[in-house]
Structure 1
Amino acid sequence: MTGKTHIIGGIAAGLAYSHFLGTDPVITTVAGVVGALIPDICHSGSKVGRRMPLLSRIINLIFGHRSFTHSLLFLAAVAFLMDTFFPDDTIKAGLIVGMISHYILDMGTKSGIQLFFPVSFKVRFPVTTRTGSKTENLIFSVLTLISFYYGYHLLGYYIM
């Protein structure tokens, strides 16, 4: 998936989480966007990889693309680091739901992800799409509608 699809996935995940669990939607959504971009640190052409090219290249050299940074092990490591250095549960929750949205979106691609790293087994959905395809644009549109829906409902809570 492209960066824009991961961003809107993080927005939708953060807003949905806020809607159902009553967290601060701004904090959860911003953290969701960050979380949705973090797994692609292993790809130097990604939005986060271009901002941190040296770290991106090192991670890619050690692990490759869509392996460690797209795994449950990485998710647990980030959760542990968040607990250790940033005890704010709202930020942690947003970051984690954003990362999960990234994983789900990448499982919809032909390459899949190495969810159970270090096991080399790739996880993907039975029906997949190519990055940048018309199907991805449709997914982007649906996620945008979901974001508007939850954003509208959350806005209603704050206005009243």
Structure 2
Amino acid sequence: MNYVTHSFGGVAAGLAVIAAASVTDPVQQTALMTGAVLGSLFPDIDHRKSWIAHKAPIAANIMAGLFKHRGAIHTPVFVLIVGAALGLLNWGWLREFNYLAAYFIQGFIPGMISHLILDTLNVQGIMWLWPISDKRFHILRIRTNSAMEAVVCMVLGACLYGQYTKIF
């Protein structure tokens, strides 16, 4: 999936968290939604040509050198590791400087999960059971930047518009 589709997935994850957690403050909602969208793009840091790699080229070069695309970074284990690291960082340092960090993190992890779910629709799939198994799972066979991805993106966008008008 491309960055637009993943961003829509992040928005969907952010709206779900905002609704589930009843976050009503616009500043907190913005921090949460920013985290969700960035989280939805973050797993592609292992691909040098991704949108996020262009924004953080040094990190992308390091990650792409260490990991193959749709490898360990595209797994639930990595989401857990990032969640634990951000939680510890927030507990130990971030909350002292910015109360909004917790809202950002509340969005970032669901955003990452949305990325994994959307990549499960891709022909390559992801390794949901890694490190137990390196078998890739996919639900559909949608190719990145294909007409079918455009359809998925439009449907997701239409659903988001409907949800957005209900929440806000």
Place the TM-score, normalised by the shorter chain, in its bin: 0.7 to 0.9
Q: Which letter maps to 2:55? A: R
What RMSD over aligned residues (CA atoms) do the two structures have, in Å? 1.6
Task: Write out aligned runs for 1:91-106 (5 A).
Answer: 91-106=104-119
2-structure distance, mates of 1:28, 1:55 = 23
Mean Cα deviation higher: 80-89 or 45-54: 80-89
Map 1:38-117 → 2, pairs under 5 A: 38-87=42-91, 88-117=101-130
- Which of 129, 134, 138 pairs up with 1:124? 138
* Alpha-carbon distance in structure 2 between the residues aligned to 1:78 and 1:19: 23
Partner of 1:19: 19
Cα distance in 2 for residues equivalent to 1:116 and 1:92: 24
Displacement after TM superposition at 1:6 (Å): 0.6
Provide the TM-score with structure 1 as the length reference: 0.88
Residue correspondence of structure 1 range 26-41 to structure 2 within 5 A: 26-41=30-45
Residue of structure 2 equivalent to 1:146? 159
1:9 partnered with 2:22: no
SS for the counterpart of 1:131 is coil
Unaligned runs of 5+ in 1: 156-160
Unaligned runs of 5+ in 2: 92-100
- Aligned match of 1:133: 146
Distance 2:138 2:130 in 1: 14
**Are 1:14 and 1:29, in contact at CA under 8 Å, matched by a contact in 2?**
yes
2: CA distance, partners of 1:20 / 1:135: 30
**2-structure distance, mates of 1:22, 1:128:** 36
Cα distance per residue 1:78-121 (max 9 Å; x no partner)? 11111111245432221111111100111101111123333322
Q: CA deviation at 1:16?
A: 2.1
CA contact (8 A) 1:16 1:150 kept: no
Q: CA deviation at 1:146?
A: 2.2
Give the stretch that moved more between structures: 114-123 or 77-86.
114-123
Identical amino acids, percent of aligned pairs: 29
Tell me by how many angstroms 1:40 deviates. 0.2
Q: C-alpha separation between the residues in 2 aligned to 1:30 and 1:62?
A: 27
- Shift of the 116–57 alpha-carbon distance from structure 1 to 2, 3 Å rule, reads farther
